[in-house]
Structure 1
Amino acid sequence: MSSETTSTSQTSIGADAIDLAIAQGLDFDGSPIPPAKLELYTKVMGLEAGRQRSGVSNTMRSRIVRIGAKHISQAELNQMLIDADFAPLKEKEIAFYYSGK
């Protein structure tokens, strides 16, 4: 395996991989991200950065639900939330994240 292949595979995993690629302006395949896409992303992320937050626990729960629903069954995620003293899944979250599964 070449170092280029290793480098590409290692940089395209994990939560920071997207941010790193965006900062470099390059997609995982090495192609440049079009300037219009980068500008729109930067504008929207700037708006998000300036938004008032409702609290760390609320944000943690939101991230757990949004990402966890991709990897964990509804019943298991719901129990995990309860066990960690978070609010259980809400009906609208179940409908949004699990209705197509």
Structure 2
Amino acid sequence: MTADTTGVNATTKGADAIDEAIAKGIDFDGTPIPTAKLELYTKVMALEANRQRSGVSNTMRSRIVRIGAKHIPQAELDQLLTDAGFAPLKEKEIAFFYGGK
């Protein structure tokens, strides 16, 4: 039995690509995602869905820092945050996201 990979490999870019692959239960290489992994992911995402939020700006900043640190040098990200009216990088964020670089 072969897995239906239609659309999974069509694009592997962007956050939606991950969600679509998870929903289909198929990794980008066409292999099925093990049931135990899918069940754990579903359980943790349900917990997250029920968590009280602190505000949109706080969440936006967190996402910018978490994702931006993968693509933008520390000093530049810090300046971009400040220019946009967000708090600059915190020492713990710098240590976590840039400490090993």
TM-score (norm 2): 0.91
Tell me the residue number matched to 1:24.
24
Point out 4+ residue stretches in structure 1 off by more than 3 angstroms. none
Offset at 1:11? 2.0
Q: Structure 1 residues 27 and 7 mapped into 2: Cα distance closer, same or farther (>3 Å)? A: closer
Q: Which runs of 5+ in 2 are unaligned?
A: none
- The size of the alignment, in residue pairs, is 96
Which amino acid letter does the alignment assign opposite residue 70 of structure 1? K
Q: Counting helix residues as a fraction of each chain, which structure ranks higher? A: 1
Offset at 1:65? 0.1
Which amino acid letter does the alignment assign opposite residue 45 of structure 2? M
Q: Structure 1 residues 7 and 49 mapped into 2: Cα distance closer, same or farther (>3 Å)? A: closer
Offset at 1:7? 6.6
Mapped partners of 2:8, 2:17: distance in 1: 12
Q: Which runs of 5+ in 1 are unaligned?
A: none
Which amino acid letter does the alignment assign opposite residue 64 of structure 2? I
What does the per-residue CA deviation read over 1:10-58, in whole Å, with 9 as the maximum and x for residues that have no partner?
3211110000000000000110000000000000000000000000000
Percent of paired sites with the same residue: 78
TM-score (norm 1): 0.91
SS at match of 1:88: coil
Offset at 1:75? 0.1
Aligned-residue Cα RMSD (Å) equals 1.5
Instruction: Note the 1:16-95 alignment, pairs <5 A.
Output: 16-95=16-95
